Amino acid sequence: MGALPDTYPGYQYVKDPENRAKFAKAWGVESLPEHTGYRISELPHRAAHGEVRAAYIMGEDPLQTDAELSAVRKGFEDLELVIVQDIFMTKTAAAADVILPSTSWGEHEGVYTAADRGFQRFFKAVEPKWDLKTDWQIISEIATRMGYPMHYNNTQEIWDELRNLCPDFTGATYEKMGELGYIQWPCRDESDADQGTSYLFEEKFDTPNGLAQFFTCDWVAPVDKLTDEYPMVLSTVREVGHYSCRSMTGNCAALAALADEPGYAQINTADAERLGIEDEALVWVSSRKGRIITRAQVSDRPNKGAVYMTYQWWIGACNELVTENLSPITKTPEYKYCAVRVDPIADQHAAERYVIEEYTKLKARLRESAMG
């Protein structure tokens, strides 16, 4: 859908003059910028230098998911305007100047694109409450009020516009998706004969010699260094129980019953014995960037000297610890290597009270922000 900084919809590169001309004509503007956009991980620095003055955020929570959260918070403070459009209250929404509540997936219809190049229509299951608008209705209304008329009657009109601009999507009509249930692009012909492409490269790759091209990159040592003060390596990971920043799955009572705040730090059994840490005990995890409280999960699963944490917890937010050091190519932060120290907490009762108090205060703050 063109949300990447270097491509238009359909993975059509911004730097290609023909692509720019095509989309400029379709969108009714004289020209489009030749340069690529910024990645969200660059926002703190771009905002500090005045290169980004506003952020319009949909379905993301960078004040929870981005690296070195202290720097991210500073970046958001430097912005003149922050707009958040979401279905649940998030940390980022609490810091926004404008909050636009929108419908969830069960309250509207449209098309999903899967990572395997698959298109799938989905349908409204229930009517939204409180006269909520869909994402496309909100965007269209804002654009129109700002002097760029954007009028659609339904999602099919939006999809048809997309198909007309993206040759690889042209054949994936609403009617065909309704019949087949699922279509993988490229699907270039509207006829029934073209039912999509299950295997993108069945006999050869799309290269002059038909062979795949592999690229290597030079290894660069992590910025963070292990020391006597910070002798363990933190690597952020994912888990099955909660998805991403937990703004959706965190509202599910069944999942919250399986695991809840302040989250977990997985450490090796030998490290736990050496540090005097028991399984399920609350601990402090510290780095050069900050300190958070979380619960120890002791097992032989992590390597000795390693700490594994997931980033969705509000109180045990491990992204307070990691450095924002960005890859020069992908602009991805150094999530997987952070020098930390894990310390036991003597007074577990006081620590439990602290977690409950901090969690209660945070939920109250989000509730107040949601109520205006």
> Could you read off the pLDDT of 30-58 as tens digits, one per residue?
999 999 999 988 988 899 889 999 999 99
Tell me the average pLDDT across 153-169. 96
Q: What is the pLDDT of residue 312?
A: 85
Q: What's the CATH class of domain 7-107+124-162?
A: alpha beta
Q: What are phi and psi of 163, to 5 degrees?
A: -60, -40
Sign of CA dihedral 34, 40, 45, 49: positive
Beta bridge partners of 342: 285
Q: Picking from 235-249, 257-271, 321-335, which range would have the lowest pLDDT averaged per residue? A: 235-249
DSSP state of 150: -
Q: Picking from 120-124, 162-166, 167-171, 236-240, which range would have the lowest pLDDT averaged per residue? A: 236-240
Name the nearest CA neighbour of 297 among 314, 312, 285: 285
* This prediction's pTM: 0.88
Torsion of CA 206, 177, 248, 43, to 10 degrees: 40
Instruction: State the CATH architecture for 232-371.
Output: Beta Barrel (2.40)
259-307, pLDDT tens digit by residue? 788 999 999 999 999 999 999 999 999 999 999 999 999 999 999 999 9
Whether pLDDT at 372 is above 90: no
Q: Do domains 7-107+124-162 and 232-371 have the same CATH topology?
A: no
Q: Tokens 């310390």 appear where?
A: 343
Name the nearest CA neighbour of 246 among 65, 70, 84: 65
Element counts in the chain: helices (H) and strands (E): 11, 14
Confidence of residue 241 (pLDDT cuts 50, 70, 90): low
**How far apart, in Å, are the Cα atoms of 56 and each of 48, 83, 230?**
17, 5, 37
Give yes or no for a contact between 290 and 70, defined as CB atoms under 8 angstroms apart. yes
Name the nearest CA neighbour of 293 among 240, 244, 221, 342: 342
The full set of domain ranges for the chain reads 7-107+124-162, 232-371
Torsion of CA 295, 297, 302, 308, to 10 degrees: -30
In whole numbers, what is the pLDDT of the chain averaged over residues?
A: 92
363 vs 372: CA distance, rounded Å: 14
Burial class (CB in 10 A: 0-12, 13-18, 19+), 29: exposed
